[in-house]
Amino acid sequence: MREKQRSLQDLFAFQPPPPSPPDSPPPAPEPIYQTIPDHPPMPAPTLNELMDDEGIKSQLCRFSPSVYFSYYNTAGKIFLRKEVFYPRELFNSPYVLNLLCEQIMTDTYSDSCVRIDREERRKMKDLLSNFNVGPPASSIHDDSMKKRIIIAARDNWENYFARLFPVALDSGDAQVLGVSHRGICLLKMVKASGINPKHLRLLKGYSFAEVLSLELQGASRVELELKTENLVLRSSRAPQISAMIRLFLQELIKGSGHVVALKSFMTDDRSLLSFSKGDVIRLLPMDGLQGGWLFGTVGGRSGLFPEELTQPSAAPDYHYLHLDRRDDKRKSMKSNTRNAPPASPSQHPVALRQMSPESEPSRSNSVQGFLQRSGPSSIQGSVHELGVTSPMAEFAMKYFRTGTSGLPASGRTLIQHTDIPIQESLILFDDPEMNELSVQCFLNLMMFMGDVPLKKNTSTADCLSHILLLGKEKELLRDEIFCQVIKQNTNNPTQSSFTLGWRLLVLITGFFPCSGTLHPYVTQHFDDISQDFEHPFKDLAAVCQDNLSRSVRFGGRRNIPSHVEMDALLAGKTSRRITIMFPGNVEFPAKIRSFTITLDVIKDLCNEMGVSQLEEMREFYILAKRLQDGLVRPLHPEEYLFDFLLEDGSITLSFRRILWGTPLSFENELFLDFHYQQLLEDYLSGQLKLGPSNGGSSLVREVAELAALQHLARGATEPPTLSEVKEYLPSQDGLSSKLEEISSSCHVHVSAMESLSPQDAKIRLIEGLSSLPLFGSTSFLVQKVNQRGCPSPCIVSVNQQGVSFRHPKSQEQVFHIPLAKVESMRTIRPKKQGKSPVAEISYGDPARPKTVTLHFKQAKEFCHTLALIMEMTQSTA
């Protein structure tokens, strides 16, 4: 009985770590994994329908006849979340799909999940928009669509589906270790800044193929031997880290067909395979192998090698491979072994007579990289023998499926046009799903280019949308898409197909970037063609190179083209004329292209106004306004304009000056009119308020003088009528009752300043408004502020000094947050329909920040404006 009545302290007491295992432990039995069960057929029991505890057998819940106590109707809730995917895990149950999709959508539209950064969250929102779906997940009835959303989150979100462990390293600032189905990664928590929420930042990632060994050293230390370095992790959860990595490695090694080199093996024997420590070798079948020898391929080379120098390994992840970095290492290793004696023929595991010419591995001396332009490497043979005559051919020999199979292949043939649809992906992927999607993409590419007939009810635009959306949805497939299009554009015999292929390449390079592995090869490929004066598409190659550099720097277009834009692109039209609204409802035409960013248009408009200094150009912004609800948002200089232009014309673009740090110069007439109209709009709308309305004569004289300047700026010579004077008055309390007095004073000012030209009158008015307290600020009328001492409503103004809170009538500043003290800001959607959105500002000490919330309709415009001012101020500091 005493044993059964042990206290909970004994049951949950800390268990000492098990003793260190022997040097050669017996292999552990394979774990048995249970599949996820279907959802229960009945609802969960309520508090009034408690389950009977008889017959329950649990190590942590033993039967006890003694009295016990528990909490009733607790306020807390327990949430079930998907934390990590098991390697090769399948999920097809509608119940599980709905749960996962609901979790992903909730985290997408919330800033509370630190596993996702702002860019990943934005891309998922764009993808859901392209899918025409949104929360809740129960509104999506297509299970295949839910699965696409889940897979996109699994493959594109680096840290989302990972188990996180607190760790400390001897060097570096890593704080967290993440273990996922893709590998292990070192992470750091990044505090919120601007409109970027708190999130985990990836410092460095490793695939499981890079793990050579793992050792648990006590209860708080794990040592990982990797291909290029050793990691010593100190963590209170070291046993759990070791167990999880071992479990994932054990599953990934099964049937992988790969081994990793534990030691370097260099030889001049043409039948043997040379490799370096850490190289992942793909095993190939071969008859007549002797015991202790294997046959495989690595880096486009194949041959026999001793089994004792390797151990089973997980299949390499293409996106973790950087074979270019091995070239220098191979050259140095070759120089060290150049004088080594060749292997004895008697040591060959297979007699030479058993090797046919077809099975003899193809060799090359020095594939001189078009990128490094270096000397001979460790790869034997010559460039001409392998047909590697271009950067893309070199890439194909390193990363393509045929190039890594050990079969004789030419770089030219791997990257040349074909009339036969591929049956496997060009790049070697370990994931069967990636292989299947690659085959489908290539078929859509051939239909788009006219190499094969279109399927029934499928148009050319549908094929284009499929390719572009696949690149947005599957970031890991972008290199495959690049290679497929370049392959079909190389030595294409059909002119029409050739033309469509290059137009598609122009689109792809602008819509999304390739990986860092492919980027140098593609860049050199475009550079070579753009300098070839005999190439028919050398100009498009230069456009592709520019688009690719933009997409690498700015991230590429957010949305796939609209139907109107797509039709224009297919017809070869890449430019479009749009209207930018200047202050005063002045329409200004602008010409943009498919991948024009906001900064490009700002520079063009500033040049028209005589502004040539980049520092002053950065004080101007383009604002997008949605006509449906009047929502306004300033566009970031690096955002693509076409992402905000809709076919129905429901989005209008306007041009305004937000920062006023540079002194004004009125040598350009357009510059003068622009600033006059903007300040006049702010003055008449009440954003630029005059002094307190105390009924004094000074206010009347000031309003009358500004009214007279407006009248003279119109070129009028006669005194203004009473109705005209009323138009010149700002939206400010206490002025309508003094209309007669203001009109009389205005006539006096007009007579005194009748010699002023319209331009001089505009300059005088700008100078007068520049002296007002709120000049240079973007002001908002906030309905409610939860800050002590702030009235409601309250005027909140944003400028380069910070955020000011002023009384709406007296304009007295009641609260101020310096810009340097602003940590972050975010918008919160209203919980009830009809309520105003909320802007929340965190400021003060980063360790213990204070918050202030503002309730008003322009919350999103306020946060984006403040974020742009913070970014501009920090960049010029």
Residue 682 amino acid letter: D
CA distances 148 to 336, 479, 515, 683, Å, are: 51, 20, 22, 52
* Pick from 217, 269, 264, 207: nearest CA to 238: 217
Q: Which of 43-52, 81-90, 96-105, 721-730 has the lowest mean pLDDT?
A: 43-52
pLDDT score of 688 = 85
- Exposure of 787 by Cβ count < 10 A (0-12 exposed, 13-18 middle, 19+ buried)? middle
**pLDDT value of position 52:** 56
Candidate from 374-388, 503-517, 715-729 with smallest mean pLDDT = 374-388
Q: DSSP per residue over 115-169, as a string?
A: TS-HHHHHHHHHHHHHHT--S-GGG---HHHHHHHHHHHHHH-SSSS-EEEE-EE
Residue type, 570: L
Residue 231's H or E segment, with its range, is strand 230-234
User: In the chain, where are the structural domains located?
Assistant: 162-254, 258-331+362-399, 411-570, 575-657, 690-769, 778-876
Instruction: Identify the pLDDT of residue 51.
Output: 52
Does residue 452 or residue 333 have the better pLDDT?
A: 452
In terms of DSSP bridges, do strands 575-582 and 651-657 run parallel, antiparallel, or are they unpaired? parallel
Lowest mean pLDDT among 348-357, 705-714, 745-754, 855-864: 348-357
For the stretch 794-811, pLDDT in tens is 999 999 999 999 988 888
Q: Domain 575-657, what fold?
A: Ubiquitin-like (UB roll) (3.10.20)
Write down the pLDDT at residue 735. Answer: 77
Question: Residue 872 and residue 778: Cα distance in Å, rounded?
Answer: 15
Residue 385: pLDDT band with limits 50, 70, 90: very low
Across 275-394, the runs of DSSP E, i.e. the strands, are 280-283, 293-298, 301-306, 310-313
Query: Contact at 8 Å (CB) between 571 and 614?
Result: no
Residue 538 main-chain phi, psi, to 5 deg: -65, -30
Query: What is d(CA 788, CA 797) in angstroms, rounded to the nearest whole number?
Result: 18
> What proportion of the chain, given as a percentage, has pLDDT over 90?
46
pLDDT value, residue 810: 80
pLDDT digits (tens, 9 = 90+) for 10-40: 544 444 554 544 454 455 545 444 444 455 5
In tens, the pLDDT along 414-429 reads 888 999 999 999 998 8
Tokens at residue 372, please?
């490094």
Q: Is 325 exposed, middle or buried (0-12, 13-18, 19+ CB in 10 A)?
A: exposed
pLDDT of residue 68: 67
DSSP 8-state class, residue 643: G
pLDDT at 691: 66
Q: Are 747 and 819 in contact (CB under 8 A)?
A: no
Ramachandran region, residue 873 (left: φ > 0; alpha: ψ -120 to 50; beta: rest)? alpha
Q: How many CA atoms within 13 Å lie on the side-chain side of 502?
A: 22
Q: What is the pLDDT of residues 637-658, one digit of tens each?
A: 999 999 988 877 789 999 999 9
Q: How far apart are CA 693 and CA 671, in angstroms?
A: 32
DSSP type of residue 663:
P
DSSP 180: -
Three-class secondary structure of residue 187 per DSSP:
strand
pLDDT for res 495: 92
Q: Which residue has the higher pLDDT, 333 or 299?
A: 299
Look at residues 541, 514, 508 and name the one whose alpha carbon lies nearest to residue 526. Answer: 541
Position 411 scores a pLDDT of: 61
Residue 357 has pLDDT above 50, yes or no: no
d(CA 252, CA 576): 51
Give the whole-angstrom CA distance, residue 595 versus residue 604.
15
For the segment 532-574, what is each residue's pLDDT rounded down to a tens digit? 898 999 999 999 999 999 999 998 998 888 888 888 887 878 8
Rounded mean pLDDT of the chain? 82
Q: At what angle do helices 94-108 and 118-131 cross, to 10 degrees?
A: 120
Cβ neighbors of 835 (< 8 A, separation 6 or more) are: 855
Hey, which residues does 365 pair with through a beta bridge? 380
Cβ-contact 685, 731 below 8 angstroms: yes
Report whether pLDDT(3) > 70.
no
**Mean per-residue pLDDT, 440-465:** 93
* Whole-number Å distance between alpha carbons of 128 and 140: 11
Beta strands in 309-405 (DSSP E): 310-313
Is residue 62's pLDDT more than 70?
no
| pLDDT value, residue 816 | 94
CATH class in words for 162-254: mainly beta
Where is 185: in which H helix or E strand? Answer: strand 184-190
Whether the pLDDT of residue 376 is over 90: the answer is: no
Contact 395, 427 (CB under 8 A): no
**CATH class label, 258-331+362-399:** mainly beta
Fold adopted by 778-876: PH-domain like (2.30.29)
- Which residues, at least 6 apart from 345, have a Cβ–Cβ distance to it below 8 Å? 352
**pLDDT grade, residue 782 (50/70/90)?**
very high
Fold equal for 162-254 and 778-876 = yes
CA atoms of 869 and 801, how far apart (whole Å): 10
What confidence tier does 130 reach under pLDDT thresholds 50, 70, 90? confident
850-855 vs 258-261, strand pairing mode:
unpaired
Peptide bond into 793 cis (omega under 30): yes
Return d(Cα 504, Cα 510) in angstroms, integer: 10
For 394-421, the pLDDT digits (tens) are 888 888 886 444 444 556 678 889 999 9
Q: Is 550 exposed, middle or buried (0-12, 13-18, 19+ CB in 10 A)?
A: buried
Task: Render pLDDT for 569-623 as a digit per residue (tens, 0 to 9).
Answer: 878 788 889 999 999 999 999 999 989 999 999 999 999 999 999 999 999 999 9
Residue identified by tokens 């010419």 is 357
User: What pLDDT, on the 0 to 100 scale, is given for residue 288?
Assistant: 84
Give the residue with greater pLDDT, 4 vs 163.
163
Question: pTM score, two decimals?
Answer: 0.77
Closest CA to 780 of 722, 864, 858: 858
CB-based contact 592:575 (threshold 8 Å): yes
pLDDT at 260 (0 to 100): 92
What pLDDT does residue 645 have? 87
CATH superfamily of domain region 411-570: MyTH4 domain (1.25.40.530)
β-strand pairing of 176-179 with 163-166: antiparallel
User: Given a cut of 60, is residue 160 above it in pLDDT?
Assistant: yes
Q: What is the mean pLDDT of residues 97-102?
A: 93
What b/e string do you get for 343-381 counting C-beta neighbours within 10 Å, with b at 16 or more?
Answer: eeeeebbbeeeebeeebebbbbebbbbbeeeeeebbbbb
Other Cβ atoms less than 10 A from the Cβ of 424: the count is: 14
Query: 203-208: which pairs have CB atoms within 8 A and are 24 or more residues apart?
Result: 203/172, 203/173, 203/174, 204/174, 205/158, 205/320, 206/320, 207/182, 207/183, 207/314, 207/316, 207/317, 207/320, 208/183, 208/184, 208/245, 208/248, 208/249, 208/252, 208/314
pLDDT score, position 270? 86
Residues 194-239 have pLDDT tens digits of 777 888 998 988 989 889 899 999 889 999 998 888 899 999 999 9
For residue 352, pLDDT over 70 is answered with no
Question: CA 652, CA 588: separation in Å to the nearest integer?
Answer: 12
Q: What is d(CA 718, CA 741) in angstroms, rounded to the nearest whole number?
A: 18
Read off the tokens for 819. 């810009």
The pLDDT score that the predictor gives to residue 330 is: 36
Confidence of residue 338 (pLDDT cuts 50, 70, 90): very low
6, pLDDT greater than 60: no
Q: Is 444 within 8 Å of 451 (Cβ atoms)?
A: no
Nearest one of 672, 863, 658 to 778, comparing CA atoms: 658
